Amino acid sequence: MSTARDLFIIAMGSGHEPSVGQGDLSLALAGAELIDLLGDGHVTVDGDRVVPGVGSVLDDRLLGEASDGIVRTTPYEGVDDWLWRRGKGLSATYQSALEAEGELTRKRGGRLTLGARRVEPVDTAARHSAVDRWERREPVLVALASAVGIGDGTRIGDSDTDEPSDIEPGLDDEAATAVVAAVHDAIMELEAVRQRRTIENSAFANLWRGP
């Protein structure tokens, strides 16, 4: 399983309230894909640029699509530009793929709301793998989950071993650290846009309402 797939499963099983936003999760999924591509040698990060490389054949379809979408002409693409471009609608893409693969099932009340549909992970080997990675506090997964508001004390499914920890895992890879930082910045930017729209909509409503 890729980091993005594991992150999606963790987001759904976290019990986090309010629900993880589609936009926030999409940006974090794009960051997860980029980190996996870094690990496979498909890209490197030079400054703030995503530089194409030559990696092994990918057996994950969505990760393969991400690799195929790498900008291969100079001056290449910035990490933040990658997150916004690749992340557009990415949470819905992962939902559709995981549903088709039998990893998700729909329910009336779910923890992660994607449009009008609510879904939850099925008890499969993929889910157990994602939970195991979370319980081992794998640094990349924990850092990306934190970016969308899922913290150390979050319980996953029915696990009794996922206890809060005062120890924050560190990322020992400079490029991965840069990607996670860019994800945090992009999510903050998205939240600022949401707040600005809320203020603008409120001002417009007050204008029509009158004194």
Q: What is the mean pLDDT of the chain?
A: 83
pLDDT at 19 over 70: no
pLDDT, tens only, 57-113: 899 999 999 999 999 999 999 999 999 999 999 999 999 999 999 998 877 554 454
pLDDT at 116 over 50: no
pLDDT at 169 over 70: no
Q: Is residue 158 very low, low, confident or very high in pLDDT (cuts 50, 70, 90)?
A: very low
* Closest C-alpha among 131, 8, 123 to residue 63: 8
Residue 187 sits at the vertex; the CA angle it makes with 182 and 190, to the nearest 5 degrees, is: 125
Q: What is the pLDDT of residue 55?
A: 83
N-term to C-term CA, the chain: 57
Q: Is residue 2 very low, low, confident or very high in pLDDT (cuts 50, 70, 90)?
A: very high
Q: What is the pLDDT of residue 17?
A: 43
pLDDT at 177 over 60: yes
pLDDT at 165 over 60: no
Segments forming the whole domain that contains residue 180: 3-209
Q: Between these two residues, 176 and 16, which has the higher pLDDT value?
A: 176
What's the number of domains the chain is made of?
1
Report the predicted TM-score, pTM, of the whole model to 2 decimal places: 0.82
Number of C-beta neighbours around residue 5 at 10 A: 24
Contact by Cβ (8 Å): 82, 30 = yes
